[in-house]
Chains A and B, each alone.
Chain A
Amino acid sequence: MGKFWSLLFLMVPVLGVASFVVAPWYKHWLPHDISQNGHVIDHLFYFILWLTGAVFVVTEVALFLFLWRYDSKGTHNPVRYTHGSHSLEIVWTIIPSAVLLFIAIYQMNAWAASKIDNPAAGPDGIFGTADDMPATLEVTGRQFEWRLRYPVPEEIRKKALQREGDAESSEDPIKDLYVVNELHLPVNEGILIDLKSADVLHSFFLPNVRVKQDAVPGMKIPVWFRTTEIGKYDLVCAELCGWGHYKMKGRLTVESREDFNKWLEQKYREQEATQDSQLADSKAKGDSE
């Protein structure tokens, strides 16, 4: 039976490697990367995958070989009466620590690019201060939706109001655009988001952009990235936020600057229209009372 059990343990590296080889064929793999920085993270993932994969195969196969070879039923060689080897211990202390230290140093730039080198931070580079550059938008997690607030450039605002042809009712227009769950972004542009939470913890997760950041009540956390491909993608909440956590789903639409401006204009016009009608409603109510 010793041979049988040895082979069972051999199945671990065989099937383990096989499942990782087969998975990409069924698209059970990293989602399509549409970001400028994502390939750095993916590269690091592959680097660690190959490295750990090699260690995995070597150690598991060694375990198999030892079990196969030293099965008490098969061989009657005397046991190697040894309490260890000082030089081996040194070898397998120094080599892994060198490798681990190398991984640690190797990844630092990627981490800095994703989380530390805030494009908005001034030349003095104080973390998280977004004073030099205005954020592209503000994202606020709220049970169970994503509230987005876009600053609308003045010319787009004017355009939207002109087409409406009724400048009078907008004496004091809201300057920002408020939308829910529909995250539209211009392609190939640096995006800076102020991430907030209105109630509990949430996590802003764009699988295709390799971005994830928790939203914390009482904090404004900067998130930055640059998308490179037009398309529609998922915006996922990745931190448990209550019973409806599973349905806190947003949609990321990456589009050309032109389309983005059009969308901004149209949405802004819609917002103004509802704003006006609400205003009119309340006015009418006020008059009738």
Chain B
Amino acid sequence: MTSKHGSHAHDDGRAAGGHAHAGSFLTTYVFSKDHKVIGIQFLFSTLLWFLVGGLLALGIRWQVAWPWAEMPVIGKMLFSGEGGQISPEFYTILFTMHATVMIFFVIIPILAGAFGNFLIPLMIGAEDMAFPTLNMLSYWFMWPAFIAMGSSFFVEGGAAKSGWTSYPPLTLTDLNGQTLWLIGLTFVGVSSMMGSINYMTTIIQMRAPGMTMFRLPMTIWAMFITAVLQAFALPVLTAAGFMQLGDRLLGTGFFIAEGWTANNAAMASGGGQPLLWQHLFWFYSHPAVYIMILPAMGMVSDMISCFSRKPLFGYKPMVYSIAGIAGFGFIVWGHHMFVSGMNPALGMAFMVSTMMIALPSAIKTFNWLGTVWGGNIRFTTPMLFALSFVSMFIIGGLSGIFMAATPVDIFIHDTYFIVAHFHYVLFAGTAMGVWGAIYFWYPKMFGRMMNEFWGHVHFFFTFIFLNGTFFTMHILGVVGFPRRLADPYHYDTFRHLQPLNEFMTWCAIGMVAVQIIFALNFILSMFFGPRAGRNPWHANGLEWQAPSPPGHGNFDFQPIVYRGPYEYGSPEVDTDYYPQTQPPPEKKPGLAAHPHGEPAVAH
């Protein structure tokens, strides 16, 4: 179906754009200042790390299903000293680095770095970002982080192994791995900071004529609010990281209690508080949870409206609820600390704010359902991923209420219930949304379509296996099955859960395996996919009026915006879409000013 649309487009979409500069290979593809190249650089890097993070997850699943069993084939290679088994120490490295890689090298940079970079100038009708050099640096500052984290596996003592939350004082007993982790994190923070300043400035300053704030697509609103969140929350994490580095290397005692000792750790002055780290860490990392979901929500809103051929239901409530999530996001961090020893009266305050943050999420869900209702739904691959985002986010959102209820949290805190919850939000939600976005904007990035049939196959198996892996985690959590245990069957209470864990591990293996389909589709379509044309999905956004792929400078005409991005099925025109740049019917003479504003013939 998509190729059919593609073939009807007016030109082959490869117009070079009005501003193409000839540059050397190095400045065009490596140290490029073009937001599209930087976005694609982010996309490739994060997809590679996605693979690494997925394999680390399989290591965790292997150990939980069959503790101390010899890993087939690769076990002897990786752990020759342990007889092919995962050692308990390596197990702690596995889950620490799985989370670290997935959060800091995959989800945050693929949303903000890859899609934020690629889409923001295109969707607001700008030539490029406000600060192209800063933009380039934001990508290259990821590399010291990649190197620090990657090399930490090979230093004495191995990579960081105190959990991605890095709670002191356990982290202070770690060797070099933790130092490299903190250094890596600092670089990720600097990179994100450069990105977020750039995004805010670009969205505020560089919108095309007529592109008012309330004509912005939800993707851009989400990216904008995410950038604000990042700009205000990140400095706290960076500062906390430096404080922990100080405790490790300089003999300070921010997080060290009076008279504290542990093996391997140098004696320190003391007088600090371990809970202080948790407050600082979650002051960033809770907003970070929204940094990891809001852009996906924005992109999913765009896809659902496009493939329902219907305006987005409740545009302004959607914008306000994103803003509401961001606002509340700053005052709920304490819900990670209900049983941490924090004053329980404070816990009650955080409980109330946490309950209320469920509200904007509920509003968004109802509006997505409202968008689908009465539409003319096309089950394309991006649409399926977007719909699964909604379906899965309902689960992830509702399971959050259990944790927000402080008395219930006493029981399920640090069990697999929370593991289920955040995987439903971050994997079944964000990662599925990102896959949808890749299928959706791939033609714009590379000028060719991805294969729809294999896209559907990829979606089907990913959807089945992800639910097999993660839904069952709720059940484990109800039994109280703790996370981060190398051998949970040590406890009588959990011994009967092993068969369920084996089932989950098989699902996880299947889930990673079907990504081969995606990888092949992604790579091969770049060379053999059908040419996309400018607007293969018959969508309204500005980016679909630019050539595919857009040349340097993006647009070969000056885009002028006449309406919001969700005018599908408008009675004003005969087509079922109404691009933002298309002048209203009575102003027809204006059409000549931009040759590509004309809609393609509807079928």
Contact = CB atoms under 8 A, between A and B. Distances in A.
A111 B344 contact: yes
B379 interface: yes
B170 A70 contact: no
Contact of A241 (B170, B309, B478): B170
Contact of A104 (B169, B339, B351): B351
The residue among B167, B410, B472 with the most chain A CB atoms within 10 A of its own CB is B410
B569 A240 contact: no
Interface string A204-242: 010110111111111101000000000001101011111
A75 B475 CA distance: 39
A285 interface: no
A111 B407 CA distance: 5
B344 A83 contact: no
A28 to B, nearest CB: 5
Nearest to A235: B491
A200 B460 CA distance: 44
A127 interface: yes
Nearest to B63: A246
B167 A92 contact: no
Interface string A91-109: 0110011001101100110
A245 B569 contact: no
Given A45-B402, A52-B402, A236-B482, A243 B89 contact: yes
B363 A100 contact: no
Interface in A6-31: 8-9, 12, 15-16, 19-20, 23, 26-31
A48 interface: yes
Contact of A12 (B169, B467, B478, B485): B467
Given A48-B401, A245-B484, A63 B170 contact: no
Interface in A24-67: 26-31, 40-41, 44-45, 48-49, 51-52, 55-56, 59-60, 62-63, 66-67
B81 interface: no
B260 A217 contact: yes
A201 B274 contact: yes
B523 interface: no
Contact of B169 (A63, A111, A199, A214): A199
Given A5-B379, A28-B497, A41 B472 contact: no
A30 B463 CA distance: 28
Given A8-B463, A67-B377, A19 B475 contact: yes
Contacts of B487: 246-247
A217 B408 contact: no
Contacts of A205: 414, 480, 482
A250 B220 CA distance: 52
B370 A56 contact: no
A71 to B, nearest CB: 6
Contacts of B488: 246
Q: How large is the interface on A (under 10, 10 to 19, 20 to 34, 35 or more residues)?
A: 35 or more
Interface stretch (B285-293, B313-321, B553-561): B313-321
A219 B337 CA distance: 15
Nearest to A38: B411
B275 to A, nearest CB: 6
Contacts of B252: none
B373 interface: yes
A242 B170 contact: yes
B391 A28 contact: no
B401 A79 contact: no
A217 B471 contact: no
B373 A20 contact: no
A169 interface: no
Interface string B256-279: 011111110000000001110000
Given A82-B311, A143-B262, A70 B376 contact: yes
Contacts of B587: none
Interface in B543-597: 566, 568-571, 576
A114 interface: yes
Contact of A60 (B362, B391, B460): B391
B398 interface: yes
B401 A103 contact: yes
Contact of A48 (B92, B347, B402): B402
B410 A41 contact: yes
B395 interface: yes
Given A214-B340, A234-B492, A20 B369 contact: no
B357 to A, nearest CB: 9
Given A31-B479, A107-B407, A240-B163, A80 B374 contact: yes
Contacts of A289: none
B500 interface: yes
Interface string B389-420: 01110110011011001111011011100000
16 contacts: A5-B379, A28-B479, A29-B479, A40-B407, A48-B408, A63-B369, A70-B373, A79-B310, A81-B310, A97-B359, A100-B359, A110-B407, A199-B169, A201-B167, A207-B480, A215-B341
Closest 6 CB pairs of A and B: A218-B257, A80-B374, A79-B569, A84-B314, A115-B344, A110-B407
Interface of B: 87-89, 91-92, 161-163, 167, 169-170, 173, 257-263, 273-275, 308-317, 339-341, 343-345, 347-348, 351-352, 355-356, 358-359, 362-363, 365-367, 369-370, 372-379, 384, 387-388, 390-392, 394-395, 398-399, 401-402, 405-408, 410-411, 413-415, 456, 460, 463, 467, 471-472, 474-476, 478-480, 482, 484-488, 490-493, 496-497, 500, 566, 568-571, 576
Given A12-B391, A107-B407, A216-B341, 10 more contacts: A8-B460, A19-B472, A48-B402, A56-B395, A70-B374, A80-B374, A84-B314, A84-B315, A217-B169, A217-B274
